[in-house]
Amino acid sequence: MSECVIKSLLDTDLYKFTTGYAYSKLFPRACGQFRFVDRDGIDYPEGFVDLVRAEIQKMSEIALSAEEEAFLYNALPYLPPTYIDFLKGYRFNPSEVTVNMIDGRLSIVAEGLLYRITLWETPILALVSELYFKAKGQTPDMDYLRNSAIAKAKEMRENDLRVSLFGMRRRFSGEVEDLVTGLLKEYGGDSLFGTSNMYYAMKHGLRVTGTHPHEWVQFHGAIYGYKMANYMSMEHWIDVYDGDLGTVLTDTYTTDVFMLNFSKKHANLFTSLRHDSGDPLLFTDKALARYAELRIDPTIKYIVFSDSLNIPKAVKIKEYCDGKIGATFGIGTNLTNDVGNNIKPLNIVMKLFKCRMSKSQPWQDCVKLSDVAGKHTGSENEIRLAKETLGII
């Protein structure tokens, strides 16, 4: 295969496979539309669209190897053989993705059956990030990169942090993620709990970690209504995984709304809550209050903090949680795109904007509200409707 930014089907985050399987099992005819969002609205270099299109075309040549298949069977026992067989035959179909420049802004839209389309998200973000820095002629300061990663790994270890590497989507490059993963393992010891990137988990002998994504709750909001979204998304996750993969995302329609839907059954079955926006200490207080209402001991539960973290922030959060509730950390961009030379990481995401239960049904808008207004996605009208429905002011 010709040189490609994305070199393996496993060069993606765990939640793409776990969510893809959940769609295929419960909603095999459901369709979705993902859209690329650049929150900073930057200008991309001339000819950038052609670079992205070329890389997406190359991805059609990627196939699961025998080694990768064996890894999936061993590392992800909750995925059935039928889904791994699907992955063996899966090929990225570039016709599912449209790339353009619209009003000077990069536009990427992936549309089709959800169990397939979901697999485009993280590779597209990673290749856009890597191509951007290459096109700008920016290179990492390798001495800074190595020293910084080693210092962070040692600080993780000294403070007894439990960190998962969540750094694929906005990494400087695959080479940088590979290097940082190896340094964190070497110098961080047991403080490196694992990585969400399945390819580098396989290469470095690490645990694969991750949670389910906003898109899963967004889909349920569009299909079942915003008041039932969190409840139904948790019920269906339990139906698929039967107690495995026990971390639940809380901020798709704000944490306050989630806590109203978080029943005693769910609080018992899910081992941890994921914090991804807003004040982490305030979130901790809300989680502790809800566990108290449900008469559940919070010291046997965890919060997975993953919102724009660095090591010093994680240390402060851990100190606040000590003795109250477990704290683990998903740290991404600060580890895989802290490369010196005044290089600023991109602030990019791909989100589910539309879905429908089958090709014969009309599209439904999907929105994400978050605990921070700057992270809202979706049409203004649908965001307004969701807020009105949920009583959010």
- Give tens-digit pLDDT for 244-262: 999 999 999 999 999 999 9
E-strand ranges in 202-318 read 247-249, 272-275, 302-305
Angle between helices 121-135 and 48-58 (to 10 degrees): 140
Closest CA to 45 of 132, 125, 129: 132
Domain limits, CATH 3.20.140.10, in the chain: 14-138+348-390, 142-337
Alpha-carbon distance of 101 to 166, in angstroms, equals 29
Alpha-carbon distance of 128 to 126, in angstroms, equals 6
Report if pTM > 0.85.
yes
Per-residue pLDDT tens over the stretch 6-56: 999 999 999 999 999 999 999 999 999 999 999 999 999 999 999 999 999
Find residue 109's DSSP bridge partners.
Answer: 35, 98
Closest CA to 131 of 156, 108, 114: 108
Fold assignment, 14-138+348-390:
nicotinate phosphoribosyltransferase (3.20.140)
**Structure-token pair, residue 22:** 């959940």
The set of long-range contacts for 234-239, using a CB threshold of 8 Å and a minimum separation of 24, is: 234/261, 234/266, 234/270, 236/22, 236/26, 237/22, 237/212, 238/266, 238/269, 239/26
Confidence of residue 225 (pLDDT cuts 50, 70, 90): very high
Angle among Cα 48, 128, 349 to the nearest 5 degrees reads: 125
Percentage of residues of the chain with pLDDT beyond 90: 95
Please state the rounded mean pLDDT for residues 162-181: 98
Alpha-carbon distance of 111 to 69, in angstroms, equals 27
Q: Which three-class secondary structure string do you get for 74-110?
A: HHCCCCCHHHHHHHHHCCCCHHHEEEEEECCEEEEEE
CATH number, domain 142-337, options 3.30.930.10, 3.40.50.300, 3.20.140.10, 3.40.50.80: 3.20.140.10
Confidence of residue 373 (pLDDT cuts 50, 70, 90): confident
Which phi and psi angles does 138 have, rounded to 5°? -95, 135
